[in-house]
Structure 1
Amino acid sequence: MATRKVADNGGGEHRPAKRDPEGVRRDILSAAMEEFSLNGLSGGRIDEIAARTRTSKRMIYYYFGDKERLYERVLEEAYGKVRGGESDLGLDALEPVAALTKLCRFTFDHHRANPAFIRMVMIENIHHGRHLQHSETIRGLNRPAIEALETVLLRGQAEGQFRKGLEALELHWQISALSFFNVSNRATFTAIFGDGLFAGDGQEQLSRHVAEMVLRYVLTPDHVGAIAATGE
């Protein structure tokens, strides 16, 4: 069991101070994210998670059931963070081009800042998505992301800015792919070509160009020409 501080009850006696259960859960999930993202499901050790959180294996199992359920909860937490960030972007208040640009930049920058999320997705692909398929939570989190992107596309089409025939799911795939590679293949890309693109200026340029590539794909020819002419 974790070492806990003691509190004076006013009568000279001391008793263990209680830990906030939600705080303990958050600490366990944070440590589990680090452990699983580095070592995978099979290589991740509950003992390491317990040591990092100053709790016990028994307490971890009490909160999460077993190792696989803890792994699933880490996946849910990771997807919840990125989807929550998307929902906070306020895309409905922006005109379509600005909304799509903001979404692209957010996705690229989120993935760059959260490499553990990318590693968790890679690990889950090794498991053929088995744990994601079991999670109603993750399916519920991801549906609104596609719906929000579809709303942006429909507004852009209604205003004559975006081409007809675009599919939100496919565009989501393209944005994710452009942003994912930047993290998933950083080590091999750097080993072959050097790390110039991964310095601050290089990452800012890539983030900007990802948004520009997506816009050039969705914009009507007239609007693409206007952006090219103005340099925006």
Structure 2
Amino acid sequence: MSQVKPARKDREPSKRPQDPDGTRQDILETASREFALNGLSGARIDEIAARTKSSKRMIYYYFGDKEGLYLRALENAYRTVREGEDDLDTDGLPPVEALRRLVEFTFDHHHEHEDFIRMVMIENIHHGEYLERSDVISGLNVTAIDHIASIYRRGVEEGVFRPGLDPLELHWQVSALCFFNVSNRATFSKIFGRDIGTTDHQRRLRDNAVEMILKFVSAG
């Protein structure tokens, strides 16, 4: 009569994430790199799962599907830049210094977060289709306009900024100067035979961006 074999005690327990928030954030950051590199259509969930030591099933559990993951990654990218702006604490600074710090932060953030720029470029290819589905991105970016509007308003009241400018358009100008530095750096460098990404070039372009914005708003 055959005996029933006892259950193996050395069998590995089922692996469950001990830090679900950390797991989700790891997946988001890895997915952002994958989407930035390959776009929405080219990104592979298998690759994201392998790099995060998770599973496709877990990713779909957290985010629904690939489009859901893409949208959450896009929201996370915008949240990161807006949180960085909030940490600047410009309320106690004179308006000129506050605007200088905001432009410097924007330039540095875009330079250091190239995946954010590429994801925004990809979303523009999709004509903002997925961004429009988001319940949070619009609210996140309202704070960016509120921030620059507050600095500008104080500058006008103190007589150092000229009146009549639209804070939304001012935000556009700051973003354009800082965004182009990443989005077109490679092609610009190849076309004109100068590496715009060197430390010296980046320092000068950062200083130029600040100077152009301050001169644009100056009352003098």
Question: What's the TM-score, normalizing by structure 2?
Answer: 0.92
Name the count of aligned residue pairs: 211
Task: Give 1:195 deviation, angstroms.
Answer: 3.7
User: Is 1:141 the counterpart of 2:175 in the alignment?
Assistant: no
What residue number does 1:62 align with?
61
* Amino acid paired to 2:39: G
User: Is 1:190 the counterpart of 2:184 in the alignment?
Assistant: no
Unaligned stretches of 5+ residues in structure 1: 1-10, 222-232
* Amino acid paired to 1:66: D
Cα separation, 1, equivalents of 2:187 and 2:11: 59
Deviations 1:3-56 (A, max 9, x none): xxxxxxxx9886456421111111111110011000111111111111111111
RMSD between superposed Cα atoms in Å: 1.5
What residue number does 2:127 align with?
128
- Structure-2 change in CA distance of 1:121 and 1:56 (3 Å): same
**3-state SS of paired residue (2:136):** helix
Identity %: 58
Deviations 1:174-229 (A, max 9, x none): 000000111001111111123443211110111111011000000112xxxxxxxx
**3-state SS of paired residue (1:217):** helix
Unaligned stretches of 5+ residues in structure 2: 1-8
* Amino acid paired to 2:49: A
What residue number does 1:200 align with?
199
Task: Give 1:118 deviation, angstroms.
Answer: 0.4
User: Is 1:51 the counterpart of 2:50 in the alignment?
Assistant: yes
What residue number does 1:4 align with?
none
What residue number does 1:219 align with?
218
- Structure-2 change in CA distance of 1:217 and 1:51 (3 Å): same
Whether the 8 Å CA contact 2:26–2:52 is kept in 1: the answer is yes
The 4+ residue runs of structure 1 with deviation greater than 4 A are 11-14
User: Is 1:79 the counterpart of 2:70 in the alignment?
Assistant: no
Cα separation, 1, equivalents of 2:86 and 2:73: 20
User: Is 1:168 the counterpart of 2:167 in the alignment?
Assistant: yes
What residue number does 1:110 align with?
109
Question: What's the TM-score, normalizing by structure 1?
Answer: 0.87
Deviations 1:78-125 (A, max 9, x none): 000000000100111111000000000100110011110000000000
**3-state SS of paired residue (2:54):** coil
